[in-house]
Amino acid sequence: MRSVLFLIVSLLVIGCADVRLPYEDWPASIHNFISLSDTDLTALSQMADTLNEDLGKPVIRIGGSVLQGYPITIEKVSSLPNPSHVGFAKRYTDHCEIQLRADMFTKANLLQSVFWHELGHCGGLKHTDEAHQVMSADASPFSSFSANALSTFFAALTASTGLLVP
Ligand SMILES: [Zn+2]
């Protein structure tokens, strides 16, 4: 069983294309949903609420005006160009696009990890070598941010310069 788990974790890699530099547009507003059902949307909304609670402020907002905050699009896709990727984020100066692989939606704990991870990329976070952290490139379930990852995430979302975890 342990070897099976290791195989699964080692095959799941989260990707990002880093195009965006500044962070002043946060808080973020997730306003556009592609191929998401009401059930999917409810699940992601709850995960965003949990993240906001952990961050201690409403950083991520589901729905609302695209004129407020940094707009994020979420698309549920059957596959990604790199088959080992389970999520992908593309950051631009004026918006961010997140793709989440459809099979993640059957694994709630893993979905939350991947969703938060891609939000981290939208906010400017890069990967960390620490295992089971939200910004680890290996997708593995975690219950919450560690204190260290949380402070890094918060700093990246609120600072205009500086950062980040390599
Ligand atoms: Zn990543």
CATH number assigned to the domain comprising residue 67? 3.40.390.10
Q: Ligand 1 mean position to 122 CA, how many Å?
A: 10
Residue 129 CA to ligand 1 center (angstroms) comes to 11
Segments forming the whole domain that contains residue 137:
13-158
Expressed in angstroms and rounded, the spacing between residue 19 Cα and the centre of ligand 1 is 13
> Residue 135 C-alpha to ligand 1 middle, in angstroms?
6
Mean pLDDT of the 77-104 span: 90
69 Cα–ligand 1 center, Å: 22
How many domains does one find in the chain? Answer: 1
User: 117 lies in a domain?
Assistant: yes
Q: Map residue 121 onto helix, strand or coil.
A: helix
18 Cα–ligand 1 center, Å: 10
Q: pLDDT-based confidence at 129, cuts 50/70/90?
A: confident
Question: Quick one: pLDDT at residue 165?
Answer: 29
| pLDDT at position 155 | 60
pLDDT of 134 reads: 76
Look at residue 7 and tell me if it is in a domain.
no
Distance 134 CA to ligand 1 centre (A): 9
What is the mean pLDDT of the segment spanning 42-66? Answer: 81
Q: Is 107 within the bounds of a domain?
A: yes
SS3 92: coil
pLDDT at position 12, please?
A: 56
Please give the structure tokens belonging to residue 5. 């788990």
User: Distance from the CA of 60 to the center of ligand 1, in angstroms?
Assistant: 18
Q: Supply the pLDDT for residue 162.
A: 33
Q: What is the pLDDT of residue 43?
A: 92
Q: For the chain, give percent helix, strand, coil, nearest 5.
A: 35, 25, 40
In a domain, residue 6? The reply is no
Question: What is the pTM (predicted TM-score) of this model?
Answer: 0.74
Helical H segments across the chain, by residue range: 2-11, 38-55, 108-122, 147-158
